[in-house]
Structure formats: structure tokens, C-alpha cells
Amino acid sequence: MRLIAIETCTEMCSAALWVDGVLESVEVRAPRQHGELILRQVEELLARSDIARTSLDAVAVGRGPGAFTGVRLGLGVAQGMAFALDCPVIPISTLQALAQQIVSERPDAPPGEVLAALDARMGEVYWSLHAMVDGRAQAAPEQVTAPSQVLPAWRGTPDRGIGAGFAAYPELVERSGLSEERLCPDALPRAREVAVLAVDAWERGEAIPPEQAQPVYLRDNVAEPSRPRGAGT
């Protein structure tokens, strides 16, 4: 299995290459430079591994939620590459990829529930609560709400929390009930976790034709304020 993965939905711009179980990635926090960087990152990974584009089986992409311009750019680049290579696209939830970082950064973390949260601006967060099963963040419903509305009142405390939404809204930390050692408050989604989840999706037969890949914004009004915050590109 060979795939390239890209993630541009937040200020983190990253690409990853999976080749028969070997994973390499390149990433940089570069607000509003994604259009200049993402194809260079792809070419760097292919050159470093001496892999031809034509040998790729699929293109994986973070499909949102996130900043409108970043989500749109990532889908457009992924679709363009897939059309050119005549291969499918594997869209992956940005929040699910974010939750998967718990395993990457803290392999000793016990199974449980991971609350992933990103700054959605306008006083809101994108969030989802993911069960961790066999080292993988499971798909979960995604929402955009005020920090005070994250997690229903009847739910207990999740096991871990991750994402820049915690740094942007301190009240979210209080709402989650998580202690400092159980939080990764500055994390942003990365292509390496998109790749890991995409391999699983490939094995489940979830790759789709590029024209069927759709962005996920979670809100009807996708206009962005002029001053970027933690989830901006």
C-alpha cells in the first residue's frame, strides 16, 4: 500500500507518505502559505523516498472541519493529484486525525475517550469525542458549538483532550474536567495521522473517486473574520 496524505485545514501545513508500512512526513506551521508549500512538501517526500507519483495507490486528505480556505485548498489539491494519477481519494476527518495524535505522542495512553477540539472562531469550537480502540481513534459525530456547550451535562470526563481549541478557550479546559497532564492544548491535525487512518480506511474499502470527495465545514456561514486565530490558514 502506497499513499500520499495532505492536511491543510489549520495553520499547520503537512504532507505524509506511507509506503508499505513505512511512514515519513514533513510539516510546518505557516499561516496563509499553504498554497505555496503543500506541493513542495509532497515532492520532497517522494524524492526523499525515491517513489514515483504513478506508483501511489491513493491520495488521502484532511477534509475538515477547519478554516474554510484550508479545507478547500486541501480537497482541491487532493482531487487534482488523484485525477492526474487516476487513483482514488480517501477523505479523513480533521478531528479524528487530531484525536489519533494521542497515540502518536503518548503511546502509553490507555484506551478510552479523547475529546478533540479546534478553534472555530466566532466564539465557537469544532469538537468531537472519539473512542480509542486498538490504538485507533474511531469515527465520531462532529459539532460546532460554544465552549460552554461542549459535552452534554450527563457525560463524564473524557480520558484525554487534544487540540488548539483548549488553548483558545480556557473555559473549555474547565468544561472538560481534564487535568493538565491529560491535555495536549496546542496540537493541530497533521498529515501523518491522516495517513495512518487512511490506510485503515483503504483496507475497509472506503476509498472513493476524487469527484465524490466533499469538504466538511460544520457551519453554513463559512466566512472568516479578517484576523486569524488558532485554526486559521
77 within domain boundaries: yes
Size of the chain, expressed as the number of residues it contains = 233
> Could you report the per-residue pLDDT of 4-49, keeping only the tens digit for each?
999 999 999 999 999 999 999 999 999 889 999 999 999 999 999 9
Pair 88, 100 in one domain: no
Average of pLDDT values for 52-58? 96
**pTM assigned to the model:** 0.93
Pair 154, 195 in one domain: no
The dihedrals phi and psi of 191, each to the nearest 5 degrees, come to -70, -30
Strands annotated E in the chain: 2-7, 12-19, 22-29, 58-62, 89-92, 113-121, 124-133, 136-137, 143-145, 160-162, 183-184
Pair 88, 194 in one domain: yes
* CATH code of the domain covering residue 146: 3.30.420.40
C-alpha span between 183 and 44 (Å, rounded)? 32
Show the domain range for 139: 94-184
Pair 86, 99 in one domain: no
Pair 109, 175 in one domain: yes
233 within domain boundaries: no
> Could you report the per-residue pLDDT of 132-144, keeping only the tens digit for each?
999 999 999 999 9
> Could you report the per-residue pLDDT of 186-228, keeping only the tens digit for each?
999 999 999 999 999 999 999 999 999 999 999 875 544 433 3
Q: What is the pLDDT of residue 72?
A: 97
Q: What is the pLDDT of residue 221?
A: 57
Q: How confident is the model at residue 128 (pLDDT cuts 50, 70, 90)?
A: very high
C-alpha span between 225 and 35 (Å, rounded)? 20
Average of pLDDT values for 155-162? 90
Pair 60, 122 in one domain: no
C-alpha span between 163 and 112 (Å, rounded)? 17
